[in-house]
């Protein structure tokens, strides 16, 4: 079985994190997000993955190589210009040999891919789309279907109040190779806005696979933080994937013996982390490898990547700090703030809520 993973987006909504790290390489508990997706594919019996990349592809290839470490064969196809979600699939057509999965590269889900394949084999249509029910469908692709699951409409990001249903495209498809004939070559094409609507208008048989799985698009800061909270709260088991690929970081739950001084569960503490015993780290702190937290500092509900330095008496709540960020003593960072690679926060600085800070540039709020 083959899978195409779409990883060519620029990750604009995760800036400034994605200036230095492409969205699929953004870490989830110390492991690049894409690596977790690939492990899931392999467990579902997928042997070959084609990565449709474009933005910062080298960072992806340097980390994953030929895929053998993950038990997969990875082929990279890099777009010079973004070709859109369908254009990217058309662009890898020469590698496709049979029915194939397509995954948006920013989805965290417990979806059972084998069950989806079984449904496709029963329905024998052009493809199956994984759907999920959400409260605000306007941020997604709305998919209308009948009782047999046959899809009649696909409406990408309808205006609020005009959503035709609450079931949305969850970003995993299982498609027959003949779908490639419906996508024009060498141009930018959106599968959501062009290909699916056109196929449905022509009467193509696409089927819905609606599940109640854990599901999150981590492409926005709030959702990225939510993913960490959900794992710490046990709503999504990273399970074997965590053990297999999370390095030597440690999850701490309330009541665990040996919880380090200064740490409040639930929390995740990476390898080589130094926390002063007088600091207060957690609950809901994710501390990446090699990060240092100084005396009396407070860090809660926050994701710190690797090699971050938090000096004494600083307070951080509800923020995301990328690799190498340094926070001077006594600084306060308010909730919703996202700080990019290697940025320096001056001592005693007051960073307001929802700020975006990039190294060497003035803060944006
Ligand atoms: N190779 C390539 N080329 N990949 C791309 C391109 C491109 O030009 N444009 C986007 N992608 C990748 C992104 O990297 C991401 O993994 C995926 O395609 C989806 O793009 P997003 O930018 O994250 O789209 P979205 O979240 O607004 O909407 C999509 O996902 C929703 C579910 O989260 C749509 O598929 C919606 O219909 C869906 O509901
Ligand atoms: Mg997305």
pLDDT at 320 over 80: yes
Exposed, middle or buried: residue 255 (CB in 10 Å: 0-12, 13-18, 19+)? exposed
| Cα 292–Cα 298–Cα 303 angle in degrees, nearest 5 | 65
Contact assessment for residue 95 and residue 76, using Cβ atoms and an 8 Å cutoff: no
Measured between alpha carbons, how far is 208 from 146 in angstroms, rounded to an integer?
9
Ligand 1 atom closest to Cα of 154?
A: 37
What residue's CA is closest to ligand 1, atom 16? 105
| Cα 112–Cα 113–Cα 119 angle in degrees, nearest 5 | 100
Q: Which residue has the tokens 């094409």?
A: 189
pLDDT of residue 248: 66
Token pair of 185, please?
A: 């070559």
Rounded to 10 degrees, the C-alpha dihedral 156/337/106/289 comes to: 180
Q: Regarding the domain delimited by 241-357, which CATH topology (the fold level of the hierarchy) does it fall under? A: UDP N-Acetylglucosamine Acyltransferase; domain 1 (2.160.10)
Measured between alpha carbons, how far is 266 from 26 in angstroms, rounded to an integer?
21
The pairing of strands 326-327 and 320-321 is unpaired
Q: 88 CB less than 6 Å from ligand 1?
A: yes
pLDDT at 243 over 60: no
Q: Decide yes or no: CATH 3.30.930.10 for domain 2-220.
A: no
What residue's CA is closest to ligand 1, atom 10? 9
Q: Largest alpha-carbon pair distance within the chain? A: 66
Please, which residues bridge with residue 150 across strands? 207
Q: At what angle do helices 57-64 and 33-43 cross, to 10 degrees?
A: 50
How remote is the CA of residue 220 from the centroid of ligand 1, in Å?
A: 12
Contact assessment for residue 322 and residue 339, using Cβ atoms and an 8 Å cutoff: yes
How remote is the CA of residue 215 from the centroid of ligand 2, in Å?
A: 12
Mean pLDDT over 227-232 rounds to: 93
Poorest-confidence range of 67-71, 204-208, 255-259, 282-286? 255-259
Average pLDDT of the chain, as a whole number: 94
pLDDT at 80 over 60: yes
pLDDT of residue 364: 72
pLDDT at 296 over 80: yes
Contact assessment for residue 92 and residue 52, using Cβ atoms and an 8 Å cutoff: yes
Q: 82 CB less than 6 Å from ligand 1?
A: yes
11-70 pLDDT per residue, tens: 999 999 999 899 999 999 988 989 989 999 999 999 999 999 999 999 999 999 999 999
Domain parsing of the chain, residue ranges: 2-220, 241-357
Contact assessment for residue 12 and residue 18, using Cβ atoms and an 8 Å cutoff: yes
Identify the three-state secondary structure at position 222: helix
Identify the three-state secondary structure at position 175: strand
Contact assessment for residue 143 and residue 129, using Cβ atoms and an 8 Å cutoff: yes
Measured between alpha carbons, how far is 361 from 345 in angstroms, rounded to an integer?
12
Expressed in angstroms, the distance from the first to the final Cα of the chain is 45
pTM: 0.93
Pocket test for ligand 1, best of 3, 38, 104 (most atoms within 8 A of CB): 104
Distance (Å) of CA 307 to CA 30, 62, 100, 181, 273: 11, 20, 39, 48, 8
């Amino acid at each position: 079985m083959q899978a195409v993973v779409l990883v060519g987006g620029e990750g604009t909504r995760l800036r400034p994190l994605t200036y230095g790290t492409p969205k699929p390489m953004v870490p989830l508990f110390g492991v690049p997000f894409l690596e977790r997706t690939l492990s899931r594919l392999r467990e579902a019996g997928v042997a070959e993955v084609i990565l449709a990349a474009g933005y910062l592809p080298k960072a992806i290839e340097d980390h994953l190589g030929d895929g053998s470490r993950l038990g997969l064969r990875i082929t990279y196809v890099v777009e010079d210009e973004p070709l859109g979600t369908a254009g990217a699939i058309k662009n890898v057509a020469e590698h496709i040999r049979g029915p194939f999965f397509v995954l948006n590269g920013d989805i965290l889900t417990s979806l059972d891919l084998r069950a989806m394949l079984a449904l496709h084999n029963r329905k024998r249509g052009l493809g199956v789309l994984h759907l999920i029910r959400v409260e605000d469908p306007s941020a997604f692709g709305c998919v209308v279907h009948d009782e047999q699951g046959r899809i009649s409409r696909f409406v990408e990001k309808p205006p609020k109040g005009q959503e035709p249903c609450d079931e949305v495209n969850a970003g995993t498809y299982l498609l027959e190779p003949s779908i490639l004939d419906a996508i024009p070559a060498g141009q930018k094409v959106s599968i959501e806005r062009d290909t699916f609507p056109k196929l449905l208008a022509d009467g193509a048989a696409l089927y819905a696979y609606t599940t109640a799985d854990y599901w999150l698009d981590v492409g926005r800061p709030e959702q990225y933080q939510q993913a960490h909270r959900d794992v710490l709260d046990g709503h999504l088991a990273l399970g074997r994937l965590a053990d297999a690929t999370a390095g030597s970081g440690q999850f701490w739950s309330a009541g665990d013996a040996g919880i380090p001084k200064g740490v409040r569960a639930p929390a995740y503490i990476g390898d080589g982390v130094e926390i002063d015993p007088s600091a207060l780290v957690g609950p809901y702190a994710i501390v990446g490898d090699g990060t240092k937290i100084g005396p009396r500092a407070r860090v809660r509900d926050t994701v710190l990547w690797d090699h971050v330095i938090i000096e004494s008496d600083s307070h951080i709540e509800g923020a995301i700090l990328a690799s190498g960020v340094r926070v001077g003593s006594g600084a306060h960072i308010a909730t919703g703030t996202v700080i990019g690679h290697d940025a320096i926060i001056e001592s005693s600085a007051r960073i307001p809520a929802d700020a975006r800070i990039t190294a060497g540039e003035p803060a944006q709020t």
